[in-house]
Amino acid sequence: MDFKITLQAKKERTITVKHNQTTSFLWEGENVFSTPSMISEMEETCRLLLKEQFLNNKEWDSVGTLVNIKHLASTPVGAKITLNAEIINIDERRILFKVSAKDKIEVIGEGKHERFIINIPRFKEKFINKVKKLNE
């Protein structure tokens, strides 16, 4: 399938930090937005950019293949986070994004994320075959 993905395509979305997205080891009670949760939201922003703007066929999606993110500042439960993704490189089905997250006060995270475009039925078939081999 030929994809018409364009450089500098962008997506912005806003989320609210939930209790299940925080660390649990710093102190009792509500803690801070965790690094894995921030990265997960950045990845989803990139995925949605591809799905909404370029991958209209339900048989195509993308998976994350590289994450290089700095978590720069803490953010509490209930804070609104603005996530931004921009396509900065395209190598066939390998797409590189510049990502950032900020709260009302400051940038809390930034970096790069790479996704690979997949055909879901083919990906699923390969995965099922791998599961079978692992269970032999």
Span 34-72, pLDDT tens digits: 999 999 999 999 999 999 999 999 999 999 999 999 999
- Stretch 14-38: mean pLDDT, rounded? 86
Mean pLDDT of the region 12-23: 94
Catalytic status, residue 45? no
Range name among 18-27, 31-40, 76-85, 103-112 with the lowest pLDDT average: 18-27
| pLDDT computed for residue 1 by the predictor | 66
101-104: long-range contacts, CB 8 A cutoff, minimum separation 24 = 101/38, 101/41, 101/42, 103/73, 103/75, 103/79, 104/79, 104/80
What integer best gives the mean pLDDT of the chain? 94
pTM over 0.85: yes
19 included as an active-site residue: no
Give yes or no: 71 in active site: yes
Q: Which of 16, 19, 30, 35 is catalytic?
A: 35
Instruction: Assign 30 a pLDDT band (cuts: 50, 70, 90).
Output: low
Domains in the chain, please, with CATH? 10-134 (3.10.129.10)
Compute CA 83 distance to the chain's CA centroid, rounded to the nearest angstrom.
Answer: 10
Determine which one of 41, 45, 71, 114 is catalytic: 71
